[in-house]
């Protein structure tokens, strides 16, 4: 085992479990069920007359919507973080505080915490492994929380010799490598791909250049941060001489790491008005036939803590970055959350926006534009 690997294992200290969850309070105000905690106020439209919300331990279960009225959770300043495995979840949770567990009507449990020193509320979720599950749960989280951004934080296998164990890879591009066509002439790739959102990538580059993100690590270390594409499929790769390894080198030679969730999350983000999305991965093995040795030596928790620390530093950077004053004003924008769901006319529309008149193919003008939150009104999201 390399000296670097031994050093990482020797210095790593497991992060604490974090602050205790705080039980929320609930009250009913007509058709609105308002669940209050120390983190946020969630408002849910309920179709059930006289419905009641109550706290059960640390879990709050919101009423399930009906097809006639439905409800919508609207939490400003929220970021959703997907973690594929429990160890990655624990690493990200160690960066947060003031937790509230919230159960989706379909059973999915989110833990909403606050990132200390920032206004961010972070909705944390364990997706399990695989792109399909990640896509479904990302869609569920986006439609429920209406977040400002979506992050995928976890571990990955390294594909390049210059990427060391414990390093962090920020995905500038996600290759969905499983698409293709195979015939008598062989396999021909039909790739799909998703770029990391420019805003998030730029903030991540600033975090790397600043260097202070390592102060968030549970043990002293100086991992290198790489801004490279990653490959996301449905296979755990543990060899450099397999058909998949050769396919990656032939068709996706720029991929620096391989993982199993970011293609699904990228699809969900793309189908939700291209919500800002970025994948951050810590390298826990080299996909070279020795993954079992790295895993047995405890490199997965080390790599997960590195990715989580960088993700927390990225969110802190986004909270402190201010938009430039003066110059050309931003284009007129429409927030996705402000469009009326089907069958629910009258859903709020932002000032100055234009709403299509059903059946006419025309737009009806809205009042003159007013000030809007710069955190959300940053580009056309229609």
- The sign of the CA dihedral 362, 366, 370, 373 is negative
The domain segmentation of the chain, as residue ranges, is 3-22+73-320, 331-382
Whole-angstrom distance, CA of residue 51 vs CA of residue 35: 13
**Half-sphere exposure in the Cβ direction for 139 (13 Å, CA):** 11
Give the pLDDT of residue 147. 94
Exposed/middle/buried for residue 299 (C-beta within 10 Å: 0-12, 13-18, 19+): buried
SS (H, E, C) 129-164: CCHHHHHHHHHHHHHHHCCCEEEEEEEEEECCCCCC
CA-atom Rg of the chain in angstroms: 22
Is 227 exposed, middle or buried, given 0-12, 13-18 or 19+ CB atoms closer than 10 A?
Answer: middle
**Structure tokens of 62?**
């919101």
Instruction: Indicate the CATH number for domain 3-22+73-320.
Output: 3.40.50.1580
User: Which pLDDT value is given to residue 377?
Assistant: 33
Query: Which pLDDT belongs to residue 17?
Result: 38
User: Which bin fits 134, alpha (ψ -120 to 50), beta or left (φ > 0)?
Assistant: alpha
d(C-alpha 84, C-alpha 234), whole Å: 13
Query: Cβ atoms within 10 A of the Cβ of 189, count?
Result: 15
pTM of the model: 0.69
Task: Give the Cα separation of 273 and 381 in Å (integer).
Answer: 5
Q: Taking the CB of residue 271, how many other CB atoms lie within 10 A of it?
A: 13
Burial environment of residue 248 by CB neighbours within 10 A (0 to 12, 13 to 18, 19 or more):
buried
Q: Alpha-carbon distance 63 to 70, whole Å? A: 10
- pLDDT tens by residue, the chain, 382 residues: 455 545 554 444 343 333 333 333 333 333 333 333 333 333 333 333 333 333 333 444 444 433 333 333 333 489 999 999 999 999 999 999 999 999 999 999 999 999 999 989 999 999 999 999 999 999 999 999 999 999 999 999 999 999 999 999 999 999 998 888 888 888 888 888 999 999 999 999 999 999 999 999 999 999 999 999 999 998 889 888 888 889 889 989 999 999 999 999 999 999 999 999 999 999 999 988 999 899 899 999 999 999 999 999 999 999 887 565 544 444 333 344 444 444 444 433 333 434 344 444 444 343 333 333 334 333 333 3
Quote the CA–CA distance of 311 and 150 in Å, as a whole number.
11
Q: Tokens 């960088």: give the residue.
A: 310
Name the token pair of 255.
Answer: 């991929």
């Amino acid at each position: 085992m390399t000296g670097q690997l031994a050093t990482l294992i020797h210095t790593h200290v497991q992060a604490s479990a974090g602050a205790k969850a705080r039980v929320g309070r609930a009250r009913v105000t007509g058709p609105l069920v308002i669940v209050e905690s120390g983190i946020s106020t969630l408002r849910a439209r309920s179709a059930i007359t006289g419905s009641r919300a109550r706290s059960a331990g640390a879990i709050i279960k919101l009423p399930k919507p009906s097809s006639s009225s439905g409800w919508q959770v609207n939490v400003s300043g929220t970021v959703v973080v997907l973690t594929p495995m429990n160890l990655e979840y624990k690493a990200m949770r160690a960066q947060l505080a003031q937790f509230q567990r919230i159960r989706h009507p379909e059973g999915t449990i989110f833990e909403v915490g606050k990132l200390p020193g920032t206004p961010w509320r972070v909705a944390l979720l364990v997706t399990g492994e695989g792109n399909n599950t990640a896509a479904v749960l990302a869609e569920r989280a986006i439609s429920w929380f209406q977040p400002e951004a979506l992050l995928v934080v976890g571990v990955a296998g390294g594909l390049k010799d210059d990427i060391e164990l414990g390093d962090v890879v920020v995905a500038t591009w996600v290759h969905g490598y499983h698409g293709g066509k195979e015939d008598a002439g062989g396999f021909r790739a039909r790739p799909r791909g998703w770029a990391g959102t420019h805003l998030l990538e730029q903030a991540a580059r600033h975090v790397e250049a600043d260097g202070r993100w390592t102060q968030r690590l549970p043990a002293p270390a100086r991992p290198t941060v790489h801004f490279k594409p990653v490959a996301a499929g449905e296979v755990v790769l543990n060899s450099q001489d397999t058909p998949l390894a050769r396919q990656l080198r032939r068709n996706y030679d720029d991929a620096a790491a391989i993982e199993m969730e970011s293609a699904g999350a990228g699809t969900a983000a793309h189908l939700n008005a291209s919500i800002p999305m970025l994948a951050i991965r810590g390298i826990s093995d080299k996909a070279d036939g020795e993954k079992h040795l790295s895993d047995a030596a405890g490199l997965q928790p080390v790599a997960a803590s590195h990715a989580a620390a960088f993700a927390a530093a990225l969110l802190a950077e986004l909270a402190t970055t201010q938009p430039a004053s003066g110059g050309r004003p931003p284009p007129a924008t429409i927030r996705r959350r402000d469009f009326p769901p089907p069958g629910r006319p009258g859903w709020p529309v932002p000032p100055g926006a234009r709403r299509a008149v059903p059946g006419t193919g025309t737009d009806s003008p809205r009042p003159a534009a007013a000030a809007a939150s710069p955190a959300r009104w940053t580009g056309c999201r229609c």
